[in-house]
Amino acid sequence: MNARIVQAKLIDDNHSLNGKLVDLRIENGVLTEIAESLSAKKDEEIIELKDLHVSAGWFDSSVSMGEPGYEERETLKNGLQVAAKSGFTGIAVNPNTKPVADDSAVINFLKTKSSGHAVDLYPIGALTQNGAGIDLAELYDMQQAGAVAFGDYQHAIKNPNLLKLALQYTQGFDGLVLSFPQENDLVINGMANEGETAIQLGLKGIPALAEHLQITRDLYLLEYAGGKLHIPTISTAQSVALVKAAKEKGLDVTCSVAITNLFYTDAALHDFDTRYKVLPPLRTEEDRKALVAGLEDGTIDMVTSDHNPLDIELKKLEFDHAKFGTIAQEATLGALLQLVSAEVAVKALTKGRERFTGVRTQVRTGETANLTLFTTEGTNTFTKEQIRSKSKNAAFLGAELRGSVYGIIANNQFIAS
């Protein structure tokens, strides 16, 4: 594609023109010029939009697709379109498929089926065989096939020796290990944050302690074994403090927060609406504020949508029986801009790519154009009409959001929202 982006505010704190209005020229998919003003060239598409902002393309570190095996929830083709129209140029896809992505064959399927799209798909391989938490999966083979990290989605590793071995083994090929932060023996049949709301509603609790114990254990294992650890979707104030202390000790650890936990508290559960049944559960206002503060000071490395499409048979049930999960990609920018500045939002939406893929996407001349276009202006109420996913289990329905995504430019394609 050949295009000129006109008078866009550049959000890139490593660029000399950060915060300035600039023109950007793309020729055959490569970013060839960036300046405060560029003259027109023949046969180039003009992209000129109100309050246009541009940043490096966003990366979502936790996305569930469905395919293979659960195509009724989401297909790869539609899911990649959802990601593109939500502003993401890269997504890490969880291994909760059928079959579980625990060998090179499934990883190859995901890579092959997703090729040619504007959005790059990066598979996360299961850490253990069939995600059962007993024996390590074929980690090296999956890495060779294209897996960028290894973890059992929303399943904690009970056996500490297994996690220790994974951290040691993956050092041989610079692999990234994910460990879901939950001590399962403290969460038997838990449905919601253990606290006042759960007591009032008669719901079995998931104590914050379960998260703190698992993170503390995993950080001790990381200090002992070495390696690279990512803790997905932390949800409490104490978890932020634990990760911050580990980073100050020099441990190679990162963490993410789900946009739902950043935006909502367990007060949303009072109507027993299963759209708000997520894992980790929505916590207290104190926790939510600590998560925002942790994002702003850099303790929390990235925000994920933790996008998990589920069909109506799994969500429109009594609260106890409904499955954990919500879709959130379509609302991620709008929710985030209600909480933090555009600069903080962009950092949170771009930092994950380097951690997971080893590649840092930048707005630089000579680089393949990998950009997200958005506006920070305007507020809107999120409605069903804005849902592009096949599944409709959206916690953000009715939420007041700020700004919107205009589209992405990636892999020599412009996808408008």
Question: Catalytic positions, please?
Answer: 306
Residue pair 179/152 in contact (Cβ under 8 Å)? The answer is: no
223 Cβ neighbours under 8 A, 6+ residues apart: 246, 249, 251
288 Cβ neighbours under 8 A, 6+ residues apart: 261, 262, 263, 264, 265
Angle in degrees, CA 86, 90, 91, rounded to 5? 85
Residue pair 276/264 in contact (Cβ under 8 Å)? The answer is: yes
Residue 414 φ/ψ region, left for φ over 0, alpha for ψ in the -120 to 50 degree band, beta for the rest: beta
d(CA 179, CA 74): 25
- For β-strands 21-27 and 30-35, DSSP reports them as antiparallel
